[in-house]
Amino acid sequence: MNHEYFEERMTLVKEILKNHDLEHTSITPLEYDENCPFPYNNFLYKITLAEPAKPQSFFVHANKACTSLPPEEGVRSLVIRLSNPRAEGLNQTNRVQNEVAALHLARCGDDHNPLSKVFPAVYDWAPPLHSDASPAIGWVLMEFKPGVALDQHFGTLSDKDSDKKAAIISQIADVFSLIQSAPLPDGVKYYGGLTISGDGSGAIVSGQMTTLAGGPWPSYGSFWRAKLAAQLRDSDESSVLQGWRGEHGIREPELVLVHGDLTMNNILFDPDTDKITGVVDFDFASVGHPCQEFFSSLREVGGNVSSEETTEGTLWEDALAARGILRPATIQGMGSLKLIGRLEELLCPFRLAHPIFIARQTAGQIMEGRAKAEEELVHCLVAL
């Protein structure tokens, strides 16, 4: 699988070096097993040069966004990273630009911190160029960093090596701090990936992620909706998962008729016979999940999802149980659904949104009500 197009990739690596007037003595694949059953995300090559690569080799490309020049004395080794267009589940839209931009932000976020140099410098890069002859491959020509993968070493440490573990973890925390605190440019306003503006300015702007197609997204919520939707699509394609539509029916819809405003005001009653004579006003009716009726109806009998215990609520619970009707106590996931329903109410409280209710309040009452609503909203979000 991975060995297909091996020679074409080697030819591309040699062309990249030739275009920079660099002569190699060896090209060594890194972390490569031609028999690996899964496609690699990237193909890595360590380049050993006959002569050091100096800034002059990159002057013609010096204006390319997010690149750096090697030191004046030059470097003897380089890494060329080729993106694999056949990588499973990866979005190819701006993969190379995303990585190059992220490396640049991490490395240049704090130039005065010597630790920022642990992030490899990028000397040149190119997005995939489509060709009929072979799959499009993007590439990054970057600084070589010595060392072995930390997991290989850390796994050899025992509990007796707690000081060594602490020292390593402390360094990881330092590196993570640089990544998390890297200043984001003005053009990065959304959740998602990074890319480089196509207007020639070289500005880093919001783009698509490598690990999730679509976006960028204006809110964290919309990001998660896209992420979960993608997982569900993938589960549909699994012969084992079958979209979780198997015998247990996790994704089978629970559809019921919902009145939407089943209050005592919409129930007609004959006091002489003590019988209900009519149920009216189906204006808000819908087809929905069984929980929905309990969010919008039945308040007078304690039948909604309020946590307040009342005599009416106990009678209502007993009546539903006797009839085998779905109710909050028997609806799966009701706790989470209740929080979502509560969140809906808190996002736009009627008393703080309707002009008539606002007009009836003093400025002090409005400020007090808003502060209380904000406190309740934060509490609900934390609970979620």
Task: Count other C-beta atoms under 10 Å from residue 126's C-beta.
Answer: 16
CB-CB contact of 51 with 121 (8 Å)? no
Express each pLDDT in 58-111 by its tens digit: 987 768 999 999 999 999 999 999 999 999 889 999 999 999 999 999 999 888
Q: What are phi and psi of 25, to 5 degrees?
A: -105, -25
Instruction: Say which residues have a Cβ less than 8 Å from residue 7's Cβ, sequence separation at least 6.
Output: none
Return the HEC string of 126-148.
ECCCCCCCCCCCCEEEEECCCCC
Please state, in angstroms and rounded to a whole number, the distance separating the CA atoms of residues 48 and 340.
58
For the domain bounded by 6-146, which CATH number is listed?
A: 3.30.200.20
> Block means of pLDDT (10 residues each) for the chain, length 384 residues?
88 95 96 89 96 92 88 97 92 94 92 91 90 76 94 90 93 94 95 94 96 94 92 86 68 80 90 92 88 85 71 86 88 87 88 91 93 93 87
Other C-beta atoms within 10 Å of 10: how many?
14
pLDDT digits (tens, 9 = 90+) for 140-199: 999 999 999 999 899 899 989 999 999 999 999 999 999 999 999 999 999 999 999 989
Mean pLDDT, the chain, whole residue set: 90
CA angle 180, 185, 190 (to 5 degrees): 80
Which residue, among 243, 246, 348, 329, has the nearest Cα to 290 in the 3D structure?
Answer: 329
Antiparallel, parallel or unpaired: β 193-196 and 122-126: unpaired
CB atoms within 10 A of CB 318: 10
Which sequence spans correspond to the domains of the chain? 6-146, 256-333, 348-384
Residue 24 per-residue DSSP state? E
Backbone Cα Rg of the chain: 31
pTM, two decimal places: 0.78
> Among residues 63, 61, 60, 58, which one has the least CA distance to residue 201?
63
> Within the chain, where are the H helices?
6-19, 95-108, 150-154, 162-180, 220-237, 292-296, 311-322, 334-347, 355-359, 363-383
CB 91 within 8 A of CB 209: yes
| Amino acid symbol at 282 | F
Distance between CA atoms of 384 and 381, rounded to whole angstroms? 5
The pLDDT assigned to 297 comes to 86
Work out the end-to-end distance of the chain between its first and last CA atoms, rounded to an integer number of angstroms: 44
Structure tokens at 30: 């890194």
